[in-house]
Amino acid sequence: MSLATLAEVLQPALRDGRAVAGLVCLGWEDMRAYVAAAEAENAPLILQAGPSCREHTPLPILGNMMRYLAENASVPVVAHLDHGYEFEECKAALECGFTSLMYDGSRKPLAQNIEETQQIAELAHAAGISCEGEIGFVGYDGGEQSAGTDPQEAAKFAEQTGIDAMAISVGNVHLQQHKKGGLDESRISAIDHQTTVPLVIHGGSGVPVKQRAALASNTSICKFNIGTELRMAFGNALRTAVNSDETRFDRVQILKETHDPVEQAARIVIRAMNQPTV
């Protein structure tokens, strides 16, 4: 059985100068390809159910799919709730078998974010699972603007919440389709000097691959969330499969053709986070 908590995969990564890929899932096809990629790279993996995924598929089904894949994998796999916004939503994910809860109070005042994240951390730890929080706000490409993480606030947040991982805003943006300029390494360094908790980058698709590898090796960043670039790989593979034969109608046969391209794209993502830089 390879089902793992977030802390169980991030602490070794922090120690060894690696990062673990938090891959954003939309359904069975990408989940399965991601686990195959992690097994091929002999690396741990975090399967993530975000808000759009949960709108499409109920939490109990997502929890069962993730746990099934994890329990049959040859590498550690985390079943992670990404961007839980309410206590009840996080509690429901715990009851559905998730092994990690990410509570997102980043839009709220600091004191409220600390109080509510602490409640989720206590809930998670009482059940023997992990909790991730977010300080500063990571915005969206073409949408809400980011608010950078203040290093002193980050230290206070980490200490008072008791979280296992802390998502920070350091130039990263959700939903970026192109890698634009990279992250603010001076701000990352300042946060690193104030805290000891594993750090997380949301919106990792917009971060240059070389910078991901360097930050994994040289800082406390040991989790990158990757969604957009893998959704693009899936979409391109699906479009090719659909257009290759206009007489086909069996979606199972069509969807099978997305597996190999998505697995290869995920292997590239995972491999870059697990190679030491020179």
Mean pLDDT computed over every residue of the chain:
91
The residues near 14 (Cβ < 8 Å, ≥ 6 apart) are 198, 220, 222
Residue 219's DSSP bridge partners are: none
Burial degree of 45 (CB within 10 A; 0-12, 13-18, 19+): buried
pLDDT value, residue 137: 74
Helix (H, G, I), strand (E, B) or coil at 237: helix
- Torsion 14-17-23-29 (CA) sign: negative
- According to DSSP H, which parts of the chain are helical? 6-16, 28-41, 51-56, 59-71, 87-95, 110-126, 151-161, 185-194, 209-218, 228-244, 251-256, 259-273
pLDDT in tens, 211-269: 888 999 999 999 999 998 999 999 999 999 999 988 888 999 999 999 999 999 999 99
pLDDT value, residue 13: 95
pLDDT tens digits for the chain (278 residues)? Answer: 599 999 999 999 999 999 999 999 999 999 999 999 999 999 999 999 999 999 999 999 999 999 999 999 999 999 999 999 999 999 999 999 999 999 999 899 999 999 999 999 999 999 999 999 999 877 666 665 655 779 999 999 999 999 999 999 886 665 555 656 678 888 999 999 999 999 999 887 778 888 888 999 999 999 999 998 999 999 999 999 999 988 888 999 999 999 999 999 999 999 999 875 44
**Sequential DSSP letters for 185-218:** HHHHHHHHHH--SPEEESSGGGS-HHHHHHHHHH
Q: Which two tokens stand for residue 40?
A: 């091929």
Catalytic residue among 82, 104, 150, 192: 82
CA dist., res. 88 & res. 45, Å (int): 26
CA dist., res. 35 & res. 16, Å (int): 22
CA 11 to each of CA 51, 102, 197, 222: distance values in angstroms, whole numbers, following the listed order: 26, 17, 9, 9
Which fold is adopted by the domain 3-273? TIM Barrel (3.20.20)
CA dist., res. 111 & res. 153, Å (int): 10
Lookup result for tokens 């991982």: 165
Q: Is 141 a catalytic residue?
A: no
pLDDT value, residue 278: 42
